Structure 1
Amino acid sequence: MLNKKVTAMDVARLAGVSQSSVSRAFSKNASISIKKRKLILDAAEKLGYQPNAIARGLITNQSRIIGIVMRDVQNPFYPEVLEKFYSRLSGEGYQIMFINSQNDEIQEHEVSQLIEYSVEGVIITDALLTSAAVQKLNRNGISVVLFNRYISDSMSNAVICNNFSAGQKIGQYLLDTGHLQLGFISGPANTSTSLDRSRGFMDTLQKQGIESIPMEDGGFTYQGGFAAAKKLMKHHEKMDALFCANDIMAFGAIDYLTTAGYRIPEDISVIGFDNVTMADWSSYALTTWKQPVDEMIQQAVKLMLDDISGQQEKPEMNFVDGCLIERASVKDRR
């Protein structure tokens, strides 16, 4: 026989208070005395009572749920980001609803799922969001923040590493260290991250009279980086430096180069972008551009909470500067 579920009324009866007092005791920032809150929490613990967050959300019209939509969980950058978002939002009293999108573009049923669970906001990382999807979320009172990417003329907040400036500085760094035969492995052409890194990189090179360099699309994946490096070296054996638009492609490129007999960095330098934990492993010792993830997450959460609370007048697009992390994968050839 099933045990009867303990309710807020049972707690109220034991504590000798009203049911509304029990609700306030379990609500963050609710008006209730310390003495009464302790009385109620003690009664709840004795009975084994746990409030129903969904039911409370229906009453207060505040679900305290934030959706996070992420596509490429195989890229170590994003699980690290997810963990940090979870910690930050939990500290603000929010629960996380995670959607691992199986497509490049967020699907209609995924948008409907977010609406169905009455999320208060959605953070989109590497999945693409159409303007129609943004409008549907906004019509349902759901705040949207794009993380690590942006859409021009979007109605959404966005927090992004300053990828164009980073690309410029990486280009200058490789030139300053005496590299002359450069190559580039990009991510998908439809992502602002890869486009801005590429544009910044080429902006610096073109100012130095280098109009074009060999490029291959690595799709932001390990396998893509491996294959792209193989293609580039097949036709450009004298290449002395390779810029990969993210770390996971750089790992793939390094693994191809070492299996093909190239010494890193003696024969060819490799530089990445993100500074994921694996970049510091001795097998890679990857020089890379560090995305300021902690600051980006802090800004993204602030934008979302300001929007949810009605303190924001219009969407913001915040660019955050990162920095170069030098390890052992780039040789000074001067």
Structure 2
Amino acid sequence: MTVKRRSNSQDVADLASVSQASVSRAFTPGASISAKTKAKILNAAAKLDYQPNIIARSLSKNQSGLVGILFANWDHPKAAEILKGLCEAITEKGFKPVVQSANTLESVDRAFTDFLSYQVDGVIVFSTSPSANMSALCIRSNIPIVLLNHTAPGINASIITIDSTKVGRDIGNALLERAYKRIAIVSSDPNSQVVSGISDSLAETVNQTQGTRIISERTGIHGYEAGLQTIVELWREDVKPDVIVCTSDYTALGILSGCRHTLNINVPQDLCIIGLGDIPAAGWTDHDLSTVKIPHNELVRTSVTTLISKIETQSMDPESIKLDAKLILRGTIKSL
């Protein structure tokens, strides 16, 4: 049996009566080529069962066409949606995503070692960051890094996150307008710069009014059951705020359930509850939870656009982009 020779770009060019360069443009996303010529080339390629040689193209362009995605927070309520959005946006830009999962600093650095072996053109990291040494190695290798929904002082990386200072200020102003006085903050990750940004800004805002203060801060608390347990503990310890601000909607919903079904606390007259994330359940009629809507789709698009720009311009200069997150006031806060 004779093995059929694999078609190449010159074969396609000959059949379509175009130049080899036109064939290359037809298979390059965003390249300048008329719709008519592109259709003719794709038709010829289909007849010849031709597929472009990605490896050869990457060698000629000195790019692999690969973008690493490091995912570290699978408990995030939008994890699947965020990963899907990243993969689709990267593909639309003409690159191919390579996904790794890690949840410790050691496994994060191992994943980055793999990315370096794959010769990725850049890396997007969700909710974690590499060590300073690994980050420096990426910079020396001209591999830009974008941190999504996370900040890391000392890491040479672009940062795409929400404006946590504005979020804290917006929450503080809403509470002051309604004369709330005793505020508790319940957060999940005490090391998160986003969480600390919200907490610090909230405290700075409310401390400007005499008699209003932060009376309790609980950290390392995340999830419905943890929220339910926290509200019971606060009341048992006679720490009775009139506001609880949570850095997770799931935690806030657990607190809300404890108020209604365990402690018989009137929400919002006796206690205001504010979450973060605006998960679908937050808007359900039975919950009607006040929260902060995070623009996940915009965060994803901005992260990909920023990284691809770094790759194409060969820029290693980090950027910090902060997007607005909207405070949504529902039934767990008093009306004005």
Name the TM tier (shorter chain): 0.7 to 0.9
Work out the CA distance in 2 between the residues paired with 1:132 and 1:219: 31
- 1:319 to 2:295 alignment: no
User: Which residue identity is paired with 1:291?
Assistant: I
Work out the CA distance in 1 between the residues paired with 2:64 and 2:26: 17
Matched residue, 1:8:
8
Q: 2:244 aligns with which of 215, 234, 242?
A: 242
User: Which residue identity is paired with 1:303?
Assistant: T
Asked whether the equivalents of residues 275 and 289 of structure 1 are also in contact (C-alpha less than 8 Å), the reply is yes
Change (3 A) 1:238 1:229: closer
Work out the CA distance in 2 between the residues paired with 1:184 and 1:253: 12
Change (3 A) 1:258 1:160: same
Work out the CA distance in 1 between the residues paired with 2:6 and 2:259: 62
- 1:292 to 2:307 alignment: no
Aligned to 2:291, the other structure's residue is in SS state strand
Work out the CA distance in 2 between the residues paired with 1:97 and 1:264: 46
Matched residue, 2:148:
147
Asked whether the equivalents of residues 189 and 220 of structure 2 are also in contact (C-alpha less than 8 Å), the reply is yes
Where do 1:151-190 residues align within 5 Å? Answer: 151-190=152-191
Where do 1:202-281 residues align within 5 Å? Answer: 202-209=203-210, 210-236=212-238, 238-262=240-264, 263-281=266-284
User: Which residue identity is paired with 1:193?
Assistant: V
Asked whether the equivalents of residues 147 and 159 of structure 2 are also in contact (C-alpha less than 8 Å), the reply is yes
User: Which residue identity is paired with 2:169?
Assistant: Q
Cα distance, 1:288 vs. partner?
Answer: 1.0
User: Which residue identity is paired with 2:134?
Assistant: A
| Aligned residues with identical type, % of pairs | 28
- 1:199 to 2:200 alignment: yes
Work out the CA distance in 1 between the residues paired with 2:251 and 2:88: 28
- Give CA deviations for 1:94-138 in whole Å, capped at 9, x if unaligned: 322222223367522200121222221111221133211211222
Matched residue, 1:113:
114
Matched residue, 1:133:
134
Cα distance, 1:189 vs. partner?
Answer: 1.6
- Give CA deviations for 1:238-285 in whole Å, capped at 9, x if unaligned: 332210013232233334434424453344221012223332233432
Cα distance, 1:142 vs. partner?
Answer: 1.2
Aligned to 1:207, the other structure's residue is in SS state coil
Aligned to 2:215, the other structure's residue is in SS state coil
Aligned to 2:207, the other structure's residue is in SS state helix
Aligned to 1:75, the other structure's residue is in SS state coil
Change (3 A) 1:98 1:224: farther
Work out the CA distance in 2 between the residues paired with 1:83 and 1:264: 37
Work out the CA distance in 1 between the residues paired with 2:23 and 2:72: 40
Relative to structure 2, which stretch is displaced further, 34-43 or 125-134?
34-43
Structure 1: gaps spanning 5 or more residues = none
Asked whether the equivalents of residues 158 and 319 of structure 2 are also in contact (C-alpha less than 8 Å), the reply is yes
Relative to structure 2, which stretch is displaced further, 233-242 or 120-129?
233-242
Asked whether the equivalents of residues 106 and 128 of structure 1 are also in contact (C-alpha less than 8 Å), the reply is no
User: Which residue identity is paired with 2:209?
Assistant: Q
User: Which residue identity is paired with 1:127?
Assistant: T
Aligned to 2:185, the other structure's residue is in SS state strand
> Structure 2 length as normaliser, TM-score?
0.83
Cα distance, 1:32 vs. partner?
Answer: 5.8
User: Which residue identity is paired with 1:319?
Assistant: K
Question: What is the RMSD computed on CA atoms of the aligned residues?
Answer: 3.2
User: Which residue identity is paired with 2:215?
Assistant: I
Asked whether the equivalents of residues 214 and 232 of structure 1 are also in contact (C-alpha less than 8 Å), the reply is no
Relative to structure 2, which stretch is displaced further, 288-297 or 113-122?
288-297
Work out the CA distance in 1 between the residues paired with 2:172 and 2:267: 19
Work out the CA distance in 2 between the residues paired with 1:195 and 1:254: 23
User: Which residue identity is paired with 2:327?
Assistant: L
Asked whether the equivalents of residues 293 and 326 of structure 2 are also in contact (C-alpha less than 8 Å), the reply is yes
Where do 1:79-98 residues align within 5 Å? Answer: 79-98=80-99
Cα distance, 1:46 vs. partner?
Answer: 3.4
